[in-house]
Amino acid sequence: MRIQFKTSYNDDIRLFPDRWTLGVYTTLLVMAFALPLLIGEFYLGEVTNVLIWAIAGLGLMLLTGQAGQVSLGHAAFLAIGCYTNTILIEAGLSFILAFPLAGVITGMVGAIIAIPALRLHGIYLAIATIALSILADDIIVLLDPWTGGVSGKFPDMITIFGLEIERWSMPTRFYYLVLLVTILCTLFYRNLLRSPLGRAFAAVRDSEVSATAMGVHIARTKTKAFGLSCMITGWAGALMGYYAGAFNNETFSLVISITLLMMIVIGGLGSIHGAFFGAVVVAFLPQVLSILKGAVLGGGVAIPGLETGVFGMILILFILFEPMGIYGRWLKIRTWFELFPFARKDMFRRQKSYLKTERLR
C-alpha cells in the first residue's frame, strides 16, 4: 500500500492546506524573528549557517528532488554566485542590485551548461557534474585577476539603504538578512511547485516517456529546472561567502557538492522540509561530534576523516532503512497516529516496482 500524503487536489494548489497549517508556520516565523532575543551570538551564528545550507539545499532539491536530475557539481554554482556577487560589488554596484544579479547570472550559466549536460542520464550525468565541480577549482585559479586565485577574496561589508550589515560584528542584522532570503526562496519554491512548470518537473522525474506523451518538452523542462536550481544555489553561495568572511578556490570543493546531495537525501527528497531537516544535520553534526570527541577522548585529539565517515554511515543507514529521509519518517509517524487503531505495519512497506516505460532507458 502506497502512502498518500495529499488529501485532495486543492491541498496541492493552495499555499497552505488549512488554517492549522497556516497557524503552525506563522508561529514558526514569529519564533524565527524572535530568536536573536532568546539565544547568544554563537548559537545565532550556527542557526544562520543552517539557513544558508537550507537555501543551497532548496536549490539542489529543485533539481534532484523535484525534477529527478542528479548533480554532484553544485559547489561550482555556489562559487559562481559567491564570486559574481563580490565582483559586482567591487565594480560599484550596491548589494541590493549585485545580490539578485549574482543569482540570475548563476542561473543563466547553469542553463547554458545544462543544454549539453542534460542529454545524459543517471550515473553519466552525475559524472559530468563531478567534472564541472573539479573544473571550477582550476578556472578560479586561472581567472586570478578577477577571482584573486589561490589568495582568494574578502567580501566588503553589506550596505542596504545606508544600513551596514556584517557577519562578525553585527550577527543579528546578518541573521535577519539570511532569514529574509530564506523566506523568499521558500515561497518561490512552494509557488513553483503549484505552477504548471512545477508539475512538468514532477512529470519528468516520474517518467520521461509519460511526460513526453503528455506534451512536456523534456529538454526544455530540464534546462529550466537546472537554471532555476542554479539561481537559488548562487544566492546561497553569495551568503556563504559573507558567512565565511574569506574564500578562495578551495572553499567550494567537491566535498561541498557531495555534502549537499547527502543533505537532501537525509532530510527527505522532494520536499521543502527535507532541505531544512538536512541543513540542521549538516550544520550541527560537526559540533555534536566535536563535543562528544572532547568528552570521550579529551581536547586536542584529532581523528582524521571522522566527520566524513559519520556522514557516510548516516547516509547508508537512511538509504537502507528510511529512503524517504527524516521528513518521510515524520509523515509515516503522523499517518500512523491519524489512522490509529487501524494502522498496520505493512502499509509502510517500500514500493519496489517501477514503471515499465522506464526500463527502456
Q: What DSSP designation does 156 have?
A: P
Look at residue 198 and tell me if it is in a domain.
Answer: yes
Q: Residue 56's pLDDT is what?
A: 95
Question: Do residues 317 and 237 share a domain?
Answer: yes
| Cβ–Cβ under 8 Å, residues 55 and 185 | yes
> 159 - beta bridge partners?
164
Look at residue 161 and tell me if it is in a domain.
Answer: yes
Question: Do residues 31 and 77 share a domain?
Answer: no
Largest CA distance in the chain: 67
Question: Do residues 77 and 156 share a domain?
Answer: yes
Question: Helices (DSSP H) in the chain: which residue ranges?
Answer: 9-13, 19-34, 41-60, 74-90, 95-117, 122-142, 144-147, 171-194, 196-206, 208-213, 218-244, 254-267, 272-297, 306-321, 325-339
Look at residue 192 and tell me if it is in a domain.
Answer: yes
- In order of 6, 273, 318, the CA distances from 329 in angstroms are 16, 12, 10
Q: Residue 254's pLDDT is what?
A: 87
Q: Residue 353's pLDDT is what?
A: 47
In one-letter notation, the amino acid at residue 95 is: F
Burial 28-55 (b: 16+ CB within 10 A, else e): eeeebeebbeeeeeeebbebbbbbbbbb
Look at residue 359 and tell me if it is in a domain.
Answer: no
Question: Do residues 148 and 54 share a domain?
Answer: yes
Question: Do residues 16 and 66 share a domain?
Answer: no
Both ends of the chain: CA-CA distance in Å?
A: 27
Q: What DSSP designation does 359 have?
A: G
What is the domain-level CATH number for residue 71? 1.10.3470
Look at residue 78 and tell me if it is in a domain.
Answer: yes
Mean pLDDT for each consecutive 10-residue tract of the chain (361 residues)? 44 73 90 92 92 95 90 92 94 92 95 85 83 89 89 89 85 94 94 90 88 89 93 95 90 89 90 92 86 74 77 86 87 84 69 47 48
In one-letter notation, the amino acid at residue 25 is: Y
Q: Residue 12's pLDDT is what?
A: 59
Look at residue 358 and tell me if it is in a domain.
Answer: no
Look at residue 356 and tell me if it is in a domain.
Answer: no
How far is Cα 59 from Cα 65, in angstroms, rounded to an integer? 10
In the chain, the number of structural domains is 2
- In order of 36, 165, 283, the CA distances from 296 in angstroms are 32, 39, 21
What is the Rg, in whole angstroms, of the alpha carbon atoms belonging to the chain? 21
How far is Cα 358 from Cα 355, in angstroms, rounded to an integer? 6
Q: What DSSP designation does 247 have?
A: B
Question: Do residues 218 and 165 share a domain?
Answer: yes
**Which residues constitute the domain of residue 32?**
1-38
How far is Cα 182 from Cα 199, in angstroms, rounded to an integer? 23
Q: What DSSP designation does 159 have?
A: E
Q: Residue 127's pLDDT is what?
A: 86
Pairing of strands 158-160, 163-165: antiparallel
Question: Do residues 68 and 3 share a domain?
Answer: no
How far is Cα 268 from Cα 315, in angstroms, rounded to an integer? 11
Question: Do residues 12 and 66 share a domain?
Answer: no
How far is Cα 308 from Cα 259, in angstroms, rounded to an integer? 9
Question: Do residues 21 and 105 share a domain?
Answer: no
Q: Residue 186's pLDDT is what?
A: 95
Question: Do residues 199 and 234 share a domain?
Answer: yes
**DSSP states of 214-239 as a string?**
TT--HHHHHHHHHHHHHHHHHHHHHH
pTM metric for this prediction: 0.89
How far is Cα 73 from Cα 71, in angstroms, rounded to an integer? 6
| Selection from 47, 84, 51, 45 nearest residue 230 by Cα | 84
Look at residue 354 and tell me if it is in a domain.
Answer: no
CB atoms near residue 275 (< 10 Å): 30
Q: Residue 1's pLDDT is what?
A: 39
Question: Do residues 154 and 188 share a domain?
Answer: yes
Question: Do residues 322 and 194 share a domain?
Answer: yes
